[in-house]
Structure 1
């Protein structure tokens, strides 16, 4: 695994684990986050439900991404399909969030920008990863 992919997966996946930890603490009332830091209508029950609907997807890409990094460090070739799954799920999560904000016409530069980054950064690594998987598959046959 290229060091840049390892760094990008680790940074994104740890950040999302932290995000959901903070969201949970805020949800149960253990912490209070200033409204200025939140996305539009963050306390509207429908928006809260929309945000939590991302939880399974975000956790799935975080777990597969961190698993891929761990597998690569152990020399286990399963890291490639795990990284591929993580990259694709990251793009999906970012794309869904961007689509939501675009449909509402509520494009806050910070929140939209962070989600746009989730769509873009995996695209940097996907072509090489897919090529590498194809070469490894062809050489195994």
Structure 2
């Protein structure tokens, strides 16, 4: 999670400073529409990174699980949004799919653990929910 959250910040810093020439970046980035699409992720990615880094810091004092859940859900949403876009375009470039599948899937086990879904009980009550 730490590497992913730092990666969000590093990626937009590098791109924002123009350290990656458009012709070196991933397929289609030189296209202004694709560049705009990429920048449309700025706020969700930075928010995911900031909440994730803050939650990791808070975990040192025994707090931060709820904020970590927020970060993981934002990260998953970011990956899902990108995968949805590339699916709608019919573009299956591994250069885009691999990192975005990672963003979409790596949070799942932690989300399940943090919400108590794998224990079959409510994370708030500590008891098994009634089906009636």
Shorter-chain TM-score category? 0.7 to 0.9
- d(CA) in 2 for partners of 1:35, 1:44: 10
Q: Which runs of 5+ in 1 are unaligned?
A: 1-8
- d(CA) in 2 for partners of 1:46, 1:73: 42
* 1:6-17 equivalences in 2 (<5 Å): 9-17=1-9
| Residue aligned with 1:138, SS | coil
Q: Deviations over 1:66-106 (max 9, x none)?
A: 0100000122x2x1110110010011000111111111112
Say whether 1:23 aligns with 2:15.
yes
Q: Which residue of 2 aligns with 1:92?
A: 77
- d(CA) in 2 for partners of 1:40, 1:68: 34
Q: Which residue of 2 aligns with 1:131?
A: 116
Between the two proteins, the alignment pairs up a number of residues equal to: 123
Q: Deviations over 1:3-62 (max 9, x none)?
A: xxxxxx211000111101111011xxxx343735x2221011111111111000000100
Which of 44, 52, 58 does residue 71 from structure 1 map onto? 58
What TM-score, normalized by structure 2, do the two folds share? 0.84
Which of 88, 91, 94 does residue 106 from structure 1 map onto? 91
Q: Which has the higher helix share?
A: 1
Query: Aligned pair in 2 of structure 1 residues 32, 109: CA closer, same or farther (>3 Å)?
Result: closer
Say whether 1:33 aligns with 2:10.
no
- d(CA) in 2 for partners of 1:23, 1:102: 24
Which of 49, 59, 69 does residue 46 from structure 2 map onto? 59
Q: Which runs of 5+ in 2 are unaligned?
A: 127-132
